[in-house]
Amino acid sequence: MTGLAVIREIAPSARVANDAVIGSFCVVGPHVTIGPGTVLIRRVVVLGHTTIGSANIVEEGCVLGAEPQDLKYGGSPTLLIIGHRNRFGPRVTAHIGTEDGGCLTRIGNDNLLSDGCHIAHDCYVEDKVHLGRNVLLAGHVLVETGAVVGDLAGAHHFTTIGRYARVGPRTPVRRDVPPFTHFYSQDHERIPPAVRGVHQEGIAAAGLAVAEEAELRKALKELFDDETALQTKIEQLVSMGVEGSALALCEFCQRSLQGVYGRYRELLRGQPPPEAAKFMPPQEQVNIRRPSS
Amino acid sequence: MPQISPNAMVEKSAELADDVRVGPFAYIGPAVRIGPGCVIDTGASILGRTTLGAKCHVFPFTVIGADAGQTGNGECFIGQANSFREHVTICAGLKAPTRIGDDNLIMIGCQIGPAAVIGDHCILTNSTQIEGRSQIDDYVGTSAFTYVSAGVRVGSYTYIAGYTGVEDHAPPFAMVQGCPARVRGVNSNKLRRCGFGDDDIRALKEAFRDLFNGAADAADPQVLRRMEADASLNPHVRRVVEALRERVGEDSRK
């Protein structure tokens, strides 16, 4: 520590753990909770009803908990809940939820969000996710555990990026990305965005049992070597009695097919997603209601 | 009295309306005028000869009125009820002012170049890059990572899809996509939301089909001439034709 005075503004009603470090030029709003060991390095703004867990590192220029960029947001005190041991690179922005989307934006544990990432309203980022630089997640996006998203990729509203999937750099994600796949595009037209292979490192990182891994690889090959007649192939695989990750893959693809333009979560439009209840305290669910008009 | 955080820096000669709120670590330059009801959040900078209309909200770390030479002489005129989200940069024009209309939503990380002109009710999504001297008309929507080249005009009600590089004038009412950008259809959802009738939308769709014939790079000059001569042409289609004529005229001068 240098001898310079730390200039910062922490609202008196903010709940900040004793060993949390709030650096110079940080602003912490009145309804914010910051857990032990979390470090806000410098020039970090935390607003809204935001809860940050323990041992997170938040770098310069981050703005967490600002109001959503959504015209239907009615101004309710919705939530942003961040778990533990995440690292936020410089200029990351994350917004609170909207009333129609379940009132909650959730970032899990052990994630790495690189420079300039944007986590929009009602997104769910699970655990061990790596978002590259300037990745933009639109509203209501679900990024499942272990997904890796390349620099400058953008996810459309209501898309899901599956477990341990990989999205290539500068790739527009307009439909769900199945688990354990490698999804990329180049120049958007020459090689349009699609599943282009298996994410080998993802399968390794998931630490599956040998039999399960073999079954998963078989299912991935069966489904995505040639992506025609996906519905029939899913049915075949399920009737063959696949289990574990392979079954989860089939179910994921089945849900995406049922959705709108390959986006399952479009079906959840206007209602809280199933994940919301898991993370939101029941009293908050009662309190946050859109004023009836 | 404006509510100014003790940690904010507001130059004495800046003109702030009575109910302006300025957050901590914000900087307001000496030649800035800010209208009533504006909120300037943490760490935002308003520089140059910038005028902000009523009820604008400037979010943290946004810079308005920057000019490359740091002269502080750039001009920027901003209308009412605009929302500038986090990390937006609006450059001030030195030869001609940068102008932004009313009721625009400019999302995180957008950058607007010097002397650009933006109309009313536009929604510029995250990381949209608008270069200098370009003109964006009313009700334009962009998607993420859109790029609009210098001196280009984007017609009103046009939607630009994600990752699109607009390097030539885009006609009004269109959906534009690709690199380089091509007209892909009519922005019918937006038109319907803005109260356009079914007849108008149908007429526009037919006109775009004739003019661009699938995914042509430019409008068919023969069809353009035929439409221009048609006295009973739908007034909205006429606007499209005029916008395209402007572009064709420019091309012929080259």
List, as own/partner pairs, every contact residues B244-253 make where C-beta atoms lie below 8 angstroms and the sequence separation is at least 24, other chains included: B244/B171, B244/B211, B244/B219, B246/B153, B246/B169, B247/B168, B247/B169, B247/B171, B247/B218, B248/B218, B248/B219, B248/B221, B248/B224, B250/B169, B251/B218
Q: What pLDDT, in 10s, does the model give residues A141-168?
A: 999 999 999 999 999 999 999 999 999 9
Could you say which residues from 93 to 132 on chain B have a Cβ atom under 8 Å away from some Cβ of chain A?
Answer: 105, 107-109, 126-127
Distance in angstroms (rounded) separating the CA atoms of residues B225 and B129: 34
Q: Does A128 touch chain B (CB under 8 A)?
A: no
Task: Please report residues of A whose CB lies closer than 8 A to that of B44.
Answer: none
Question: A63 and B109: CB-CB below 8 Å?
Answer: no
Which of A86-95, A188-197, B197-206 comes out lowest in average pLDDT? A188-197
Q: What pLDDT, in 10s, does the model give residues A98-123?
A: 988 888 999 999 999 999 999 999 99
Is the pLDDT at A62 greater than 60? The verdict is: yes
Q: Does B23 touch chain A (CB under 8 A)?
A: yes
Residue A139 among the catalytic residues: yes
Q: Does B61 touch chain A (CB under 8 A)?
A: yes
**Choosing from A35, A139, A168, A262, which is the catalytic residue?**
A139
Is the pLDDT at A75 greater than 60? The verdict is: yes
Q: List chain A domain ranges.
A: 9-210
Residue A75 among the catalytic residues: no
Q: What pLDDT, in 10s, does the model give residues A212-229?
A: 999 999 999 999 988 788
pLDDT value at position B220? 85
Query: Which chain B residue's Cα is nearest to A134?
Result: B127
Q: Which residues contact B163 (CB under 8 A, 6 or more apart)?
A: A154, A170, A172, A188, B143, B144, B145, B146, B179
CB A67 within 8 A of CB A85: no
Q: Which residues contact A6 (CB under 8 A, 6 or more apart)?
A: A22, A23, A24
Query: Which chain A residue's Cα is nearest to B128?
Result: A136
Structure confidence at residue A282 as a pLDDT band (50, 70, 90): low
Task: Please report residues of A whose CB lies closer than 8 A to that of B109.
Answer: 91, 116, 118, 134
Q: Does A175 touch chain B (CB under 8 A)?
A: no
CATH of domain A9-210: 2.160.10.10
| Spans in chain B with pLDDT lower than 70 | 214-216, 248-254
Q: Does A114 touch chain B (CB under 8 A)?
A: no
Is the pLDDT at A279 greater than 80? The verdict is: no
Task: Please report residues of B whose CB lies closer than 8 A to that of A187.
Answer: 179
Q: At the topology level of CATH, where does B3-133 sit?
A: UDP N-Acetylglucosamine Acyltransferase; domain 1 (2.160.10)
